[in-house]
Structure 1
């Protein structure tokens, strides 16, 4: 076939309509008029000789052919973005883009520090941070939308063969109490003391909640006897609830550094119990990896890795290993 029956603009419009659910919202997101979007879709359907949308409902619904074209279209657009980034690397080593992903707790408390350190060294590199669930983040890495990610949950089984999953750092989950709680005077507290507490937790399906239950069970603690006072949907809400005296909680150490320094919450060690999970770095070895991602992997990741794990981090590409370091006058050793 000499001429393709679609353009990149038409694929972008199709993707926007599928994401927004209507022609009007898609037009708004692309800063074009609704008639222009409708005309492009009509031309695309005429060129392909198949309907792409069911026009009956209030929401724009893709037909089977529409879903098929969207699936391939997203891959095409991702490859176009990778091509632009590769050319950008070639032309302007001091610029470029780094796209990092993370699961919720890691993205909120750890990645901003890492990105801040990276930006001090490479201020001309644009950095994007995408914070989602481990599952969604893993799919974005697999599809080439994210360079690399740090996650704390399990990688979907269907992606384990296509992604490299590298053990990165221990994330300790500390028991925190209100500063005026009677158990703050005991160091360490006993396992039996946990049954006396009112706990504030994340949803029972959250990764951190499952890790806590598994570790406590392995330590001989009956998690069914733990009293759950309330379930909240964010670590910040949990910290505020503990600070207000509403209960106790297990929270990542990285999330409570400021509160511990200010003395507004109390960290309570438990005798013979340490709750930890392993954070992992994930990347797709078959996708293009920018020089910015190379520099982040080489210079920033090892500084936050648990001792002994830094040597297992992402191998850098020999051809590109010193590119950013040579190009940027702000570069320093790790």
Structure 2
């Protein structure tokens, strides 16, 4: 079993049809069918259930397909990394970022870096912190910008900055005119929050013996802000995320509670190779944007 066979197999699985796969691979159908037959003989199992027009993966085929995608991706990444060694200020950096950073702070950081290193290109993988950690483990990305809390097993963590949490919503939810409000001002108000911060928020309310009413839990700061913009409740988000507010009349206030804070961290896998570009980006962030 070699990479070419895996590429052929993965293309057939994706297309669901040997004829379509042959066209996508720019080869004729008979050699493709022969390669699939050789692969099945080598593995000693049937990979496809063949119908009149389409093929479907068997259980063994599905297992191989998932592995093949990872191996093919890793092969492409390895070729790219070796190519990048030729020029340590040019190439493609594979970087992960949570949405509340990728849509705000990261933009400004990349603008600054691009002025100095215009030949660096980027592949940005957005997702929540847990998804970013998995991407690191699978070698899909080299670095990730995430928010606490998260498991640090096998991860090297560089704190970049700590942000206070902000209350965002329609002015009818707020009585104070100042830019900062106590946690008590949010008691019994309909709160909209990112699910991972639920324990932290409930703990803060509990310590002050306050009642907490959660109207909506979600997986993205942008959803929190959209709902808050719509007047459905008070969104709780980190400070940098407030730049995503759409309506000019949406109120934003800092929550005066030291425990309600979010730490932005740059993380990478301790045992994985870091390219020259990844090291350059890491050094850039820690030198210019580390404020923790």
Establish whether TM, by shorter chain, passes 0.5: yes
SS in 2 for 1:268: strand
Work out the CA distance in 1 between the residues paired with 2:189 and 2:200: 19
Give the structure-1-normalised TM-score: 0.70
Q: CA deviation at 1:181?
A: 4.4
Cα distance in structure 2, aligned partners of 1:169 and 1:155: 16
TM-score (norm 2): 0.79
Match of 1:116 among 111, 122, 134: 111
* Residues 176, 266 of structure 1: 8 Å contact kept: yes
Shift of 1:250: 0.6
- Which residue in the other structure is 2:57 paired with? 61
Q: Which residue of 2 aligns with 1:268?
A: 253
1:216, 1:273 within 8 Å by CA — same for their partners in 2? no
Deviation, 1:296, is 0.5
Higher strand share: 2
Given the superposition, is the C-alpha separation of residues 64 and 235 from structure 1 closer, same or farther in structure 2, using an over 3 Å criterion? same
| 1:244-323 superposed matches below 5 A | 244-257=230-243, 259=245, 263-272=248-257, 275-307=260-292
In 1, are the aligned partners of 2:164 and 2:255 still within 8 Å (CA)?
A: no
Query: Partners in 1 of 2:47 and 2:242 — Cα distance?
Result: 50
Return 123-132 or 6-15, whichever deviates more: 6-15
Aligned residues: 289
Q: What CA RMSD, in Å, does the superposition of the two structures yield over aligned residues?
A: 3.7
User: Could you say which residue in structure 1 is the equivalent of 2:191?
Assistant: 199
1:79 to partner: Cα distance: 4.7
Structure 1, unaligned stretches of length 5 or more? Answer: 1-5, 308-334
2:142 to 147, 158, 174: 147
Say whether the 8 Å CA contact 2:137–2:269 is kept in structure 1: yes
In structure 2, distance between residues paired with 1:304 and 1:29: 49
Secondary structure of the residue aligned to 2:45 is coil
The verdict on how the C-alpha distance between 1:64 and 1:87 changes in structure 2, with shifts beyond 3 A counting, is: same
119, 123, 131: which one pairs with 2:126? Answer: 131
Structure 2 residue matching 1:172: 3-state secondary structure: strand
Structure 2: runs of 5+ lacking an equivalent: none
- In 1, distance between residues paired with 2:33 and 2:205? 57
